[in-house]
Structure 1
Amino acid sequence: MPLITSKFRASGLFKNTHFSTIYSAKIRQVRGVHQDRERIELPDGDFLDIDWSYSLLPDGDGGSRKQTQNVALLFHGLEGNAQRTYMLAMAKLLTQHGYDVAAVNFRGCSGSDNRLYRSYHSGETDDMRFVIQNIAARDRYTNIFLYGVSLGGNALLKYAGEKKEIPSQVKAIATVGVPVDLKASLEQLNYSENWVYRTSFLLDLKSKYRKKMQKFPEIMTPEIYRTIKTLKDFDDVYTAPAHGFKNALDYYEKASSYEFLPEITLPTLILNARNDSFLHGHCYPDIYAAQSKSLFLEIPKNGGHVGFYKPGDFYYSELRCLDFFEETVE
């Protein structure tokens, strides 16, 4: 499938990647989303929290909402959660169009510390697969749609290309701001102008490490903590050993979705802005998209990192992903 010519046009200050990214992450507000939490126990003794929102379409008989056959599972980015604005906005849009929404919090991201030494990472698909199969097995939904942002998008694309069984109810995948090549993304974040993003991530990750030190003092020590100066350091001392990788570089290679893209057969959208401060090189997989019948790649000139501002309640990225889901059903 050739590259999609994007209709998105940024205006004013939103043409600037940093303004677009920071405004969307720190200033934008989304109100009116109700969430009900469900805790799912995982096979290894840990858990995931899912925040549900339900279709707001009237049932026509005086009830508050119509029973729907559509559900969308949303997966957040690094150190995000189901309450981030990009998650709330997508949930709000989908419920207004007749979808139930399951906003998935990765391990340790729901406000409750997870139980085990391990947590989550960019290529973690076992938890994702377990949740998708769990919801598919409930026989309530005919159509399942998957939506991932940044890290969550990378994991979704890897999941779709792993050649493992995917429930027949899964109809389409939409992703936004996806670092499909983790090493290239890290290189981009290491540029001097991107110091605010990598510093913010590093502070959040180190804070979580400190908390986990109290539960696992034999393998997480103050001496190790003091060696964490960069994102790569964190991946070397925690992400890699906690999740079965040799080191950070081994993790970046094996957890990246880039090499899995040619194996994707489900209709899949990747929406990555050309000026995204988190993306570089193979994060724009135009060669694979051109050779695929299932992979739709859209690269607007502007948009920053998940910052496709559009006047009104919803961003271009959210409306575009909804359209992609609707087109698939039609």
Structure 2
Amino acid sequence: MGAHIDASQCPVPGWLPGGHAQTLYSALFAQHHHVHFVRERLELADGDFLDLDWCGPGLHPERLPDGAAAPHEAALAPTGARRWMHDDDWARLPADCDALILFHGLEGGSLSHYSQSIAHYFRARGWVVAIAHFRGCSGFPNRMARAYYSGDTPEIESLLQHARRRLPGARWRAAGISLGGNALLKYLGEAGAGAIPLEAAAAVSVPMDLPACGRKLSDTFLGRHLYSRYFLRTIRRKILGKADSFPGSIDVMRTQQLRTLRELDDLYTAPMHGYRNALDYWTRASSLPLLQGIRLPTLILNARNDPLVPQASLPGSRDASDAVLLHQPAQGGHTGFATGAFPGNLLWLPARLAGYFDTMT
């Protein structure tokens, strides 16, 4: 047996045609509610840290646990969080609840349009939601020369185990978006039938075949001049900051000249995280070869017109285990899925995730 197939479509409106428009409009203009979070900092054994942004019943971003108004945290102003977590906050969260941990995409975080729409939808249903930021993506530079990458399954495992320790009575699910989805699927495939602190998982707009996706982003006109330029705008600045903090570890001149994600991964991502070059990184970090090993109920949602993920790279039924549900609607774009009358909304994606998680209870 292989993966199950969902043939239903995302009802993308006629006024928003094509994968590029659906991707860009959803990220820049589609309407969604705005969520404020309470931030927790997880100190790591290697001396670095990870920031998680939490929301849920009993947790008030604008008030302290005793009801007093939270002081203004200037350092948090550019982030999705309004204050830091206090020890007393944990007692205010429900001990027996449904909970979701979300792993963001490349250069994403709790302010990303998909994070905001998903967090608001699930919080309104009474869930606790934690947005787990990868290193350097929370609005604060991480402390090490390394950063984050698409195959970092130890990081996924440590975040899942931490969330379980914080709310051990919760029924945890996980969702990964784009890069975060690949890392989550890779973790699930490697874990196989081993102990996983989750009831179910979902991955959205996932580049499971990283070589194919890397070529599309690096070798096509829009990949190079639109999407790569967008991502490199912030990534280049972060790497130059690391060059200042770790002199001699990064080629500053080459960093300033980066034009594609292949160049980025050849120069920085691959050697900094134990790979020979971009192709070695893309090949070894891809989740596609591991989908047959997944034993946890898992939804994989990819629009077939995703401009960042070639349709030919998407898995078929035989490429994944029977624990997997493949949903590949014709329309939706990359982390888009805007629906409704103009100006549109982002409700379809969180509702799709919730519908899947409900069937797994």
- Shorter-chain TM-score above 0.5: yes
Q: Structure 2: which amino acid aligns with 1:182? A: L
In the other structure, the counterpart of 1:60 is none
The alpha carbon displacement at 1:120 in A equals 0.3
Aligned residue among 128, 139, 149 for 2:177: 149
In the other structure, the counterpart of 1:318 is 350
In the other structure, the counterpart of 2:336 is 307
In the other structure, the counterpart of 2:120 is 92
CA deviation map 1:94-150 (0-9, x unaligned): 111121001011100001000001110011111111111112133533311000110
Distance 1:178 1:185, change over 3 A: same
Preserved contact between residue 77 and residue 152 of structure 1 (Cα < 8 Å): yes
Distance 2:336 2:345 in 1: 13
Distance 1:66 1:143, change over 3 A: closer
Distance 1:132 1:231 in 2: 28
In the other structure, the counterpart of 1:267 is 297
Distance 1:25 1:223, change over 3 A: same
Q: Structure 1: which amino acid aligns with 2:181? A: G
Matches within 5 A, 1:155-304: 155-163=183-191, 167=195, 169-189=197-217, 190-194=219-223, 195-280=225-310, 283-288=313-318, 292-304=321-333
Preserved contact between residue 123 and residue 154 of structure 1 (Cα < 8 Å): yes
Distance 2:96 2:30 in 1: 29
The alpha carbon displacement at 1:73 in A equals 0.3
Aligned residue among 128, 143, 162 for 1:115: 143
Q: Structure 1: which amino acid aligns with 2:136? A: G
Distance 1:303 1:122 in 2: 22
Distance 2:166 2:129 in 1: 15
Please state whether the residue corresponding to 1:15 is helix, strand or coil.
Answer: coil
Preserved contact between residue 271 and residue 317 of structure 1 (Cα < 8 Å): no
Distance 1:217 1:65 in 2: 44
Preserved contact between residue 31 and residue 346 of structure 2 (Cα < 8 Å): no
Distance 1:143 1:274, change over 3 A: same
Please state whether the residue corresponding to 1:152 is helix, strand or coil.
Answer: helix
After superposing the two structures, state which structure 1 stretch, 19-28 or 225-234, moved more: 225-234
Distance 1:154 1:215 in 2: 30
Distance 2:191 2:95 in 1: 32
After superposing the two structures, state which structure 1 stretch, 274-283 or 293-302, moved more: 274-283
The alpha carbon displacement at 1:27 in A equals 1.7
Preserved contact between residue 56 and residue 98 of structure 1 (Cα < 8 Å): no
Q: TM-score, normalised by structure 1?
A: 0.91
Preserved contact between residue 19 and residue 331 of structure 2 (Cα < 8 Å): yes
Distance 1:313 1:187 in 2: 31
Q: TM-score, normalised by structure 2?
A: 0.84
Distance 1:18 1:229 in 2: 20
Percent of paired sites with the same residue: 38
In the other structure, the counterpart of 2:67 is none
Distance 2:255 2:214 in 1: 20
Q: Structure 1: which amino acid aligns with 2:114? A: Y
In the other structure, the counterpart of 1:80 is 108
Preserved contact between residue 37 and residue 52 of structure 1 (Cα < 8 Å): yes
Matches within 5 A, 1:14-163: 14-55=16-57, 68-163=96-191
Preserved contact between residue 146 and residue 273 of structure 2 (Cα < 8 Å): yes
Preserved contact between residue 338 and residue 345 of structure 2 (Cα < 8 Å): no
Distance 1:68 1:310 in 2: 33
Distance 1:187 1:13, change over 3 A: farther
Query: Is 1:327 matched with 2:356?
Result: no
Query: Is 1:10 matched with 2:12?
Result: yes
Preserved contact between residue 265 and residue 294 of structure 1 (Cα < 8 Å): yes
After superposing the two structures, state which structure 1 stretch, 291-300 or 305-314, moved more: 305-314
Gaps of 5+ in 1: 58-63
Preserved contact between residue 141 and residue 169 of structure 1 (Cα < 8 Å): no
The alpha carbon displacement at 1:200 in A equals 0.9
Q: Structure 2: which amino acid aligns with 1:309? A: A
After superposing the two structures, state which structure 1 stretch, 173-182 or 11-20, moved more: 11-20
Distance 1:10 1:164 in 2: 35
